[in-house]
Amino acid sequence: MSDQPLRFGPPRRQEGAPRARDVKAWVREASGAPDDATIVVTELACSEPGCPPFEVVTAVLRSGAPPVQRKLHKRLAELSRDEVIHLWEAGAGDHQHETKE
């Protein structure tokens, strides 16, 4: 038997990992999230009607508080620090969601 983990589906791409780390740091800075908050950055194919083909979803998850997320219709590699800072400081962006529990 192999000690390798069993994986299903295509191999995960890691080329966006350094950029995702940058975006997480920018979100933390702009949102004022505490050190114990979880910052999530995900690039997704957008399937909503009339939606551009890709979007980056950023979210701040805090214990005892509803998650807050912001989205930009761009590729992760195309995001700039200024865009992410503006998105979170101004609550701006292509669209935003405050998720209710």
Beta bridge partners of 98: 68
> So what's the pLDDT on residue 57?
92
Is residue 23 classed exposed, middle or buried when 0-12, 13-18 and 19+ CB atoms within 10 A define those classes?
buried
Phi, psi dihedral angles at 44 (to 5 degrees): -130, 155
> So what's the pLDDT on residue 75?
93
Q: Residues in the chain with pLDDT < 50?
A: 1-2, 9, 93-101
> So what's the pLDDT on residue 90?
81
> So what's the pLDDT on residue 4?
53
